[in-house]
Structure 1
Amino acid sequence: MGGTNDAADGTYALRAVDPLIGELLAGLPALLLVGPRAVGKTTTAHRFARSELRLDYPPTAQAVAVDPDAVLRELDEPVLIDEWQVAPAVLGAVKRAVDQAPHPGRFLVTGSVRGDLDSPTWPGTGRLVRVNMYGLTVAELLGRAPREPFLDRVAAQGVEHLPTPLERPDLRGYVELALRSGFPEAALELPADLRERWLDSYLDQLLTRDLAMIGGQRDPDRVRRYLEALALHTAGVVEHQAVFRAADLSRATADAYDHLLRNLLVAEAVPAWHSSRLKRLVRTPKRYLIEPALVASVLRLDTNSILQDALLLGRLLDTFVMAQLRAELPLCRSRPRLFHLRQADGRREIDLIAELSGRRTVAIEVKAGAPGTGDARHLAWLRDELGDEFVGGVILHTGQLAYSLGDRLTAAPISTLWA
């Protein structure tokens, strides 16, 4: 499954991570560019490399397996090492090369599968600086990257001055943007009907070839059933027990599948936020598929069917907003971490909490339609509890205007994210 965003005439859709990669290569010896398959990692990394080691080419992988140090020694730097997980011995060679000569701009390593990345004995620790890369944001689709991330704008200016954007899709327009996907090949090169087939093929390969690379022999039909349960609950705060029961799987099997899908970087769990000032907050994570178009593909849904299901519509919009924010996290100078908030009795719930450096907090909710003052009551509660640590709260909605909902509270169209 390709991940290019190079058009036939050789043009390149600028990615938001481009300046960051250039900056880091200028000061560090080795980077690890990590993300889901087919989000354009290789195409982006290619622009910074003077030579390439494509390990998905069997003869190259075999040569690396025999003597990885000798292969790397003869290449012009920066060296792009693509699909490292096919020949993991190459990472040991990178470690030895960096230990011997740690000057900047030596290696740029890419891969889609995390494998044992979290192992304490993984040779990249202290040598490879990780850069996360996800699908295209709407800003990138529109040719507006690089730009200042939304959370950095809020951190610097608050939410009171968020402008009404010139481009304001209606509800159908937002769903269509979400279903266009962030995969460059599908979003930039294919019409809607072929895009659906591309996404179906992506899922088939994910559940067969990619899964086998890290999970051994797994039943693709059972994994698909679990993925369907996750898709139905995307952007939901649900106990894991509810998910594996919905998939008709045992806890042990579901736990294994959940781990595999996270390793494939197509699913994630956003942790619950906690504060010593607040009581009775749940610890259950909020589950997401990382790509809203995959939600539709897994569940075999189109724009019309989503618009006719209010619960699923809300989940899809939340997943879409999360995809825009997640892709910008590596670029943010405010160093945000994302959480969600929910009280145990369900009385108060906030879709996303961005905890910035310096203990500052931004709260975000996502809503279909234009919100009123009453819709900001949970944000107002958090503002009053946190005091000066509360930077602002914003309800991102599918209406047309940005307007105040009170002190440090604002409603703004979702398109504010890329305005």
Structure 2
Amino acid sequence: MRYLTRLVDPWITEILASAPAVMITGARAAGKTTTALRHAASVVRLDNEREAAPFRADPDAALRDRPEPVLLDEWQECPEVLGALKRAVDTERRPGRFILTGSVHADVDPALWPGTGRLIRVPMHPLTVREQLSRRGRPFLDRLLAAEAPEDPGDTPDLRGYAEMALRGGFPEPAVQLPDRIRNQWLSDYVDQLTHGSPGRGRPLDRSRLRAFFSVYALNSAGVAADTTLYQAAGIDRRTAHAYTKLLNDLGAIAELPAWSSNRLKRLSRGPKRYIADTGLWGAAVGADAALVMSDGDLLGRLIETFVANQLRAEVAVDPNRPRLHHLRDREGRHEVDLIADLGMRGLVAIEVKAHSAPSPRHARNLAWLHDQMGDRFLTGVLLHTGPAAFKLTDRIRAIPISAIWS
């Protein structure tokens, strides 16, 4: 299989040219090691006990005199390596020394973690459509702010085409290499084995209950369901739900966007918006194929919004404007905006996602409301839809096909 250039590749190259170490984080099988190997001069696979043993015995000596950059793959399997990396960087702080990859986030106080100030984290998401199509270019939000979003994105799927595209997911092996039936089995197995080899937070994991919680979470993807809704539907208590949420987030299986706030707006909801981090996993967890999704408006809306959110989350990680993604919803539910890209003092971009091929100004009423409330802070609003055409809806608000993200 040929290598598909990832969005993070230029960013990793730039970091290693200036900083001593980079850590690539993300879900299992998202392609972290494959990408890291493209930037490394030598590799240590710490999930291999024979290679890890010297690092457990004397990490400083084991790390010394290796061709750099050194890739320390699955570092969490031998956390002693972090102390050795700290000491090596403190002794000789030159660029391009180390690359770390791992599937689980460090469960420690960041203020006490030895990597603080010594390495730069790069989040890596499953393959976006842009990456699968090997299309280069600036991130969608960056082009949007520069008024360069394409008016005619060209090859645009219809609604079912978007659903099928989303259900393929972005894990490289199933998305690119496997036929449909095998891909579906791969994704189902991934969901069943989400916690294989992962820590149980001090007590054994009940995998059947975790699987049930993940399924409930998937059914509420692209929503702001209360914690009680999730844990009661899964048949678990609040403490267990909190532990499962943290674990699934650490594994890169879910993502939560914080609520956006402003001193210009009152009575906004503070709860996060929840997403499954890959729509292929969403389909496996829900047990949905394209036919089922096309017969259920609620499932269809959740799938399309989750798909779009994941495309944009991957791009935000390398966007030079460094936007932060949020959602907006008032406590009464009268006004909500799917995604807010907050650019700090520069303003905000508001995004709505609609599984509709011919949206009207009615579909953008929440964007228009936010424009009225925020004035000049509102840079632009976009209604991303499943039709083929881009057009103006109202002042500062445009309807743009979803496929413009990767065109």
- Using structure 1 for the length normalisation, give the TM-score: 0.94
The one-letter code of the counterpart of 1:185 is E
Contact preservation (8 Å) 1:350, 1:379 = yes
- Decide which of 331, 349, 354 is 2:318's aligned counterpart: 331
Find the aligned partners of 1:385 and 1:126 in 2 and give their Cα distance.
Answer: 39
SS in 1 for 2:327: strand
Question: Which 4+ stretches in 1 moved above 4 angstroms?
Answer: none
Alignment of 1:232-381 (within 5 A): 232-369=219-356, 370-381=358-369
- Decide which of 69, 80, 85 is 1:89's aligned counterpart: 80
Residue 288 of structure 1 deviates from its aligned partner by: 0.8
Contact preservation (8 Å) 1:334, 1:357 = no
Find the aligned partners of 2:298 and 2:27 in 1 and give their Cα distance.
Answer: 27
| Cα distance, 1:233–1:12 mapped onto 2, change above 3 Å | same
Residue 164 of structure 1 deviates from its aligned partner by: 2.0
Q: Could you tell me the percent identity over the aligned residues?
A: 51
> How many residues matched?
406
Find the aligned partners of 2:10 and 2:344 in 1 and give their Cα distance.
Answer: 22
Cα displacement string for residues 342-373 of structure 1 (whole angstroms, at most 9, x for unaligned residues): 11111111100000143410000110112101
Cα displacement string for residues 132-187 of structure 1 (whole angstroms, at most 9, x for unaligned residues): 10010000000113x200111122227xx641210110011001110111101111
Find the aligned partners of 2:246 and 2:81 in 1 and give their Cα distance.
Answer: 25
Contact preservation (8 Å) 1:339, 1:353 = yes
User: Which residue number in structure 2 is paired with residue 70 of structure 1?
Assistant: 61
The one-letter code of the counterpart of 2:101 is T
Deviates more, 1:110-119 or 1:35-44: 110-119
Find the aligned partners of 1:93 and 1:102 in 2 and give their Cα distance.
Answer: 13
- Decide which of 140, 146, 153 is 1:150's aligned counterpart: 140
Contact preservation (8 Å) 2:293, 2:300 = yes
- Decide which of 192, 197, 205 is 2:185's aligned counterpart: 197
Find the aligned partners of 2:106 and 2:40 in 1 and give their Cα distance.
Answer: 24
- Structure 2, unaligned stretches of length 5 or more? none
- Using structure 2 for the length normalisation, give the TM-score: 0.97
Contact preservation (8 Å) 1:215, 1:260 = no
Alignment of 1:33-52 (within 5 A): 33-52=24-43
The one-letter code of the counterpart of 2:252 is L
Find out whether 1:177 has 2:168 as its counterpart: no
Alignment of 1:131-170 (within 5 A): 131-145=122-136, 147-157=137-147, 162-170=150-158
Contact preservation (8 Å) 1:116, 1:122 = no
SS in 2 for 1:157: coil
Find the aligned partners of 1:416 and 1:386 in 2 and give their Cα distance.
Answer: 26
The one-letter code of the counterpart of 2:145 is A
SS in 1 for 2:249: helix
- Structure 1, unaligned stretches of length 5 or more? 1-6
- Decide which of 379, 402, 407 is 1:414's aligned counterpart: 402
Residue 211 of structure 1 deviates from its aligned partner by: 5.2
Contact preservation (8 Å) 2:258, 2:272 = yes
Find the aligned partners of 2:122 and 2:250 in 1 and give their Cα distance.
Answer: 16
Find out whether 1:386 has 2:374 as its counterpart: yes
The one-letter code of the counterpart of 1:103 is R
